[in-house]
């Protein structure tokens, strides 16, 4: 598996696993100076789903080290069955990855919920260890510009976030 494919799959994993818009009671957690890790709504637009926290720890993400991802915010609309999640990654302005999936089946259902998903607050934290591969570069950090979007079946954009995403590959 080539380096870009592997990184693209990792980006997909991060944003599919941690983009949960599952209404739950908000819990208070400590943040950092930028609770959105450099991400912001696409084009400064207001969307029905807003994020108040999107934290990767560590940031940049380090391959082979424990990663804690925290996501919190509010959904003001129903997420309908058939909603699509799109993750696109760019390197030096060039699209290197674009993937779509059924958000309800691949994210919401795997977390014990079902669509349609009613409006509400969400706050979740997940832990993972990004796996190393023999094809990984050594002792370098790669950076991407990522666009993450969820769209209802009627083509209403529920959320669109864009921002920097970096992955550090430790020395071999």
Domain with 126 in it: what CATH number? 2.70.220.10
| Residue 39 confidence (pLDDT) | 96
State what percent of residues in the chain have pLDDT above 90. 67
pLDDT of 77 strictly over 70: yes
Of the chain, the percentage scoring pLDDT greater than 70 comes to 81
**pLDDT of amino acid 14:** 53
CA nearest to 18, candidates 60, 54, 52, 43: 54
- 64 vs 11, higher pLDDT: 64
Q: Which residue has the higher pLDDT, 42 or 31?
A: 42
Higher per-residue confidence, 16 vs 73: 73
Residue 8 in tokens = 């693209």
Band of residue 111 on the pLDDT scale cut at 50, 70, 90? confident
Mean per-residue pLDDT for 115-131?
90
Domain count, the chain: 1
The answer to whether 12 touches 86, Cβ cutoff 8 Å, is: no
Return mean pLDDT, the chain: 84
Tokens representing 165 are: 């995403």
Question: Given this model, what pLDDT does residue 5 score?
Answer: 42
Choose between 95 and 112: higher pLDDT: 95
pLDDT value, residue 15: 55
Instruction: For Cα atoms 37, 123, 105, give the angle at the middle one, nearest 5 degrees.
Output: 100
Q: Are strands 157-169 and 61-62 parallel, antiparallel or unpaired?
A: parallel
Among 94, 165, 79, residue whose Cα is nearest residue 130? 165
Sign for the CA dihedral angle at 21, 80, 146, 106 comes to positive
Structural domain for 68, as ranges: 3-169
Report the distance separating Cα 48 and Cα 23, nearest Å. Answer: 13
For residues 114 and 18, the model is more confident at: 114
Contact between 38 and 60 (Cβ < 8 Å): no
Looking at per-residue pLDDT, the higher value among 27 and 64 belongs to 64
6 or 54, which is more confident?
54
- Taking alpha carbons only, the member of 73, 71, 58 closest to residue 129 is 58
């Amino acid at each position: 598996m080539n380096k870009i494919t592997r990184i693209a799959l990792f980006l997909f994993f991060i944003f599919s696993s941690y983009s949960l818009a599952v209404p739950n009671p908000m819990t208070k957690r400590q943040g950092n100076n930028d609770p959105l890790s450099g991400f912001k709504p696409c084009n400064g637009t207001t969307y029905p789903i807003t994020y108040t926290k999107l934290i990767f720890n560590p940031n940049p993400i380090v391959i082979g080290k424990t990663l804690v991802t925290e996501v919190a915010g509010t959904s003001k609309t129903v997420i309908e069955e058939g909603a699509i999640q799109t993750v696109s990654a760019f390197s030096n302005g060039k699209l290197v990855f674009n993937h779509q999936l059924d958000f309800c089946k691949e994210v919401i259902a795997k977390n014990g919920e079902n669509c349609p998903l009613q409006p509400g607050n969400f706050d979740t934290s997940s832990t993972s260890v990004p796996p190393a591969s023999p094809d990984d570069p050594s002792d370098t950090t790669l950076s991407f510009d990522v666009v993450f979007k969820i769209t209802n079946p009627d083509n209403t954009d529920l959320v669109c976030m864009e921002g920097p995403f970096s992955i550090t590959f430790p020395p071999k």
